[in-house]
Chains A and B, each alone.
Chain A
Amino acid sequence: MPTVAPLPGGIVTRAIELVLLVACLLCAPVQAAEPKKVIRDVFPVAETGFDPAAMHDLYSAGVIRAVFEALYTYDYLARPAKLVPLVAAAMPEIAEDGRVYTVRLRPGIFFQPDRVFGDKPRELVADDVVYSVKRLADPKLRAPYGFLVEGKFAGLDELAAAAKKTGKFDYDRKIAGIEAVDRHTVRFRLNEPDFNLTYVLSHEATSIVAREVIDKYAESDGRAMSHPVGTGPFKLGQWIRSNKIVLDANPDYRGFVWDFAPVQPGDEKLVAQMKGKRMPAVDRVEIFVQEEDQTRWLAFQQGELDFMNMEGPLAPNAIGTDGNIKPELAAKGVRLDRYVEPEIRYVYWNWLDPRVGGMGKAQIALRRALAMSFDASEEVRVILNGQAVALEYPIPPGVVGHEPQWKSTVRYDPALANKLLDHFGYKRGTDGWRTWPDGSPMVIKYAARPDTQNRQLEELAKKSYDAIGVRMESQRDRFPELLKLEKACKLFSREAAWVADYPDGDNFMQLFYGPNTYQSNNGCVSIPEYDALYKQSVRMPAGPERDKLFRKMARLLEYYAPQRLTVARYRNQLVQPRIEGYRRHPILASTWQYVDVAPASN
């Protein structure tokens, strides 16, 4: 029989590789023709769309922040975050004990030219502000950030209720709560005194849109997700959904001069590099969407990305045990911008569950014991690779009202937890697991999303509960399902997270306010004493008086233990050496308009 030597598989694949490789080299010059200054950022989660009122996620918010402008924004370098006027000419004039806000607009701010405006710039006026804020209440838009305006402005809720009946929101009807006094003055009249309104007016969701644009480009549900027309420094160029977003500098943008005062160590260098420059300095921002940690990190190292947030799983590659950037990266000129995110994570136990919730002493003891079994520092160390801080106070660092010296009375102490459980009749059965006081087997359900990090949280919870003889059952489900159960107060326990909408303690303290059950109060907590204090606190401006109330409330949360505070993550923003003037802002979702590209690298 004649024998033909067959080709081993390896040679063929290698041959193909070679062909592809040669082809690669041939096509390399194709990518030479690019605009002058391009910066490349990455989102770990896909964006949804760029209508401010329909804004849903942090990443779309970044783009909205770059294309649109709100009345106020935050100073680029000031820490803690400080509000400054943007479209407004000055900070609002507040009258009637925080019930009436008057905002004067800067004249001469123009929307980028668009077909709707006959391709000419069109000035932003008071009516646009009124329209943009009202939109958040339009039921048809189902605005995710509608809560920012709900119940606040005189007459707005009535307008929304009428729209629900008729099916059409009457934007032309004047209401006392939001009115254009003249072409460049807006007045807000509030139902209750509120000292946080300026934060709301700086939020991406209240960015100012032009009514003509929305009317022309809105999809069937009234949201214009794919055609943003704003007054900001960038405009949407190319957009390959959930893959690549290109922002081009808006040629008609009025611009600003880089002039910020140094606050943190290292800011001086930024100021020296940037002061006096005309902004925005970059011509184009390219944003990639990449869900996989490995890909983002390899791409950053390869120089395919200019920015990257180094999250826990891979952090040891870039960040040493001391929290500084690794020497080999530093040698390449890569910089690390590191701060604690304005967020809290907490494990709650459902207050409405009769066995674990409520004001009964046995239940309080059970929750306290569960809280004591949990070692937040282990979550920091093992799960998050050191890229987080264990929280002591319900208001995280960088947020007004934070108490840096505070020590929580809730400490990791499984031995005491065991005694507490024994004392209150949660006896161990013959199998070593504890029972409810009535003798039935005790099971604590712990819910988590089905991903790698949540699996590790489950592992930690299981380990903690095992140590005090409490049987844990994991309840794994997709996020929509968990949310649905949570909002109906039907979830037993979960580690929830809250990221600041604005840097004020109220944004965190409201999480445990009884009447916010079924809304943002995930654990459905209701402690009468806490609720009374909270009601007092909302009528106060930030200051030592309010801080005192907050401290009382924090202590109550420790004693009644409706939840156990766990951690706030570090943000580890890595920046390539070619980028100048970069500082990640804790609240602003994007800061591309403040940076430049080093001349040598272009």
Chain B
Amino acid sequence: MWAYVVRRLWQMIPTMLGVVLLVFILFNLFGGDPAYVLAGKISNPDQIDNIRRQLGVDQPYYIQLGIFLKQIVTGNFGASWSTNEPVSHILATRLGPSMTVLVPLLIIETIVAVGLALAVAYVRGSLTDRAVMIVCTVGLSISILVYIIVFQYVFAYKLGWFPVQGWGDSFWENLVRYASLPILIGLVVSIAPNLRLYRTFVLDEINQDYVRTARAKGVSENRIMWVHVLRNASIPIITHVMAALPGLLIGAFLLERFFSIPGIGREVILAVERSDFPVIKALTVYVAVATMAVNLLADLMYKAVDPRVQLK
């Protein structure tokens, strides 16, 4: 077990190097030149040179890469080029709001989707099953952009059920008052695909021999569904939910933009618009590390839930 964890951690190093290299190539070689934007309305070549020197982008690529590697090892990514805000501070302050929206969203969505999945799988093939699946499919074929525009207009403005936008200082105020409409939109968008997916997981299990055996032994249908099937279907479901976790770090930029949520997603778009490489590179590295860690965790959990799984 521990040997496995150590080996997996060891294997992360080449992947990490690959990520670093790819990010470096994409942004340092092909990304925009920030100097001109930072120079303001009137600039002359002299000032541009000066800015490039101050930012260190006039250095040879291998030195820039070296600096980047050093930053990763020390965990100090410097400061944003346009605002001077330390990257660590950006992460520390923007993560909370993103999580305030996405964590409840993930939890509610999983509970609802799993519950519905069990229900429709139970009546698989029936008219209800098909109707729910069609509604889901229609639901997920509408662009999230349309949902946001229409929901904000109808629920926040016309009906006044929610504030149009905003963000406060207290966690509860944010969660209940400001995050509820974004969460609702998130639910509408993400329940449909997940319900469809979880339904197939449940169906997979329903067809297994153990279900037939249990049924033959006279176990009640409810018990079969909620205990046997759910326990086994939970493995792919957990894997799936875990895979969604690193995405939380990046936030939901559309929701954040439209509802004035000071989260990471908005910061990412801002950083790309400003060619703010320190911020972009740091975020990429952090999320990559998180993704790998979560993947490892998922495999370990998988093992814990199902002892038959061989970790190799």
Contacts and interface: CB of A to CB of B under 8 A. Distances in A.
A and B bind: yes
Interface of A: 2-10, 12-13, 16-17, 20-21, 23-24, 26-27, 30-31, 46, 48-49, 54, 56, 139-140, 142-147, 164, 219-221, 223, 225-226, 238, 240-244, 288-292, 294-295, 298-299, 301-302, 304, 478-481, 483-484, 487, 498, 501, 516, 518-520
Interface string B164-179: 1111111011001100
Given A2-B221, A9-B136, A291-B257, A144 B40 contact: yes
A4 B167 contact: no
Contact of A480 (B149, B165, B275): B275
Given A2-B221, A480-B32, A146 B176 contact: no
B258 A304 contact: no
A164 to B, nearest CB: 7
Which of A24, A49, A140, A219 is packed against the most chain B CB atoms within 10 Å? Answer: A24
Interface stretch (B2-10, B13-21, B126-134, B285-293): B126-134
B112 A6 contact: no
5 contacts: A6-B132, A7-B115, A221-B84, A244-B262, A294-B258
Interface in B248-264: 257-262
A520 B43 CA distance: 7
B50 to A, nearest CB: 5
Given A24-B177, A139-B50, A139-B54, 11 more contacts: A6-B119, A7-B116, A9-B132, A12-B112, A142-B38, A146-B40, A147-B42, A219-B79, A299-B166, A480-B33, A516-B42
B132 A225 contact: no
Interface in B16-51: 32-45, 47-48, 50-51
B83 interface: yes
Interface stretch (B62-70, B231-239, B265-273, B298-306): B265-273
Contacts of B161: 17, 21, 24
Contacts of B195: 9
B163 A304 contact: yes
A12 B274 CA distance: 42
What 6 A-B pairs are tightest by C-beta distance, nearest first?
A: A144-B40, A243-B262, A6-B119, A480-B32, A483-B36, A147-B42
Contacts of A294: 149, 152-153, 258
Contacts, number: 201
Contact of B41 (A17, A23, A479, A520): A520
A600 B79 CA distance: 46
Contacts of A139: 50, 54
B153 A298 contact: yes
Contacts of A295: 152, 164-165, 258-260
B139 interface: yes
A168 B129 CA distance: 74
A298 B85 contact: no
B188 interface: yes
B77 to A, nearest CB: 13
A17 B184 contact: yes
Nearest to A51: B84
A432 B112 CA distance: 61
A219 B165 contact: no
A292 B128 CA distance: 40
Given A142-B54, A225-B84, A484 B47 contact: no
A298 B79 contact: no
A242 B183 CA distance: 22
A350 B43 CA distance: 18
Nearest to B191: A9
Nearest to A480: B32
B147 interface: no
B213 to A, nearest CB: 18
Contact of B172 (A27, A54, A291): A27
Contacts of B273: 478-479
Given A49-B84, A142-B38, A294-B153, A20 B79 contact: no
B260 A243 contact: yes
Given A5-B128, A290-B165, A140 B260 contact: no
Contact of B184 (A20, A145, A244): A20
Given A6-B132, A9-B136, A304-B164, A288 B260 contact: yes
A140 B54 contact: yes
A7 B50 contact: no
Given A13-B187, A295-B152, A487-B48, A241 B180 contact: no
Contacts of A291: 257
Nearest to B52: A142
Interface string B142-170: 00000001001100110011111111111
A479 B163 CA distance: 33
Given A3-B123, A478-B273, A480-B275, A240 B40 contact: no
A304 B166 contact: yes
A7 B153 CA distance: 27
Contacts of A481: 32-33
Contact of A242 (B180, B270, B275): B270
A6 B164 contact: no
B294 interface: no
B79 A6 contact: no
Given A142-B39, A480-B37, A302 B258 contact: no
Given A13-B184, A142-B54, A304-B166, A290 B260 contact: yes
Given A290-B260, A291-B257, A298-B156, A483 B120 contact: no
Given A242-B270, A518-B45, A298 B83 contact: no
Interface in B60-119: 79, 82-85, 90, 93, 108, 112, 115-116, 119
A20 B128 CA distance: 28
Contact of A478 (B79, B162, B275): B275
B209 to A, nearest CB: 19
A289 B192 CA distance: 32
Nearest to A521: B42
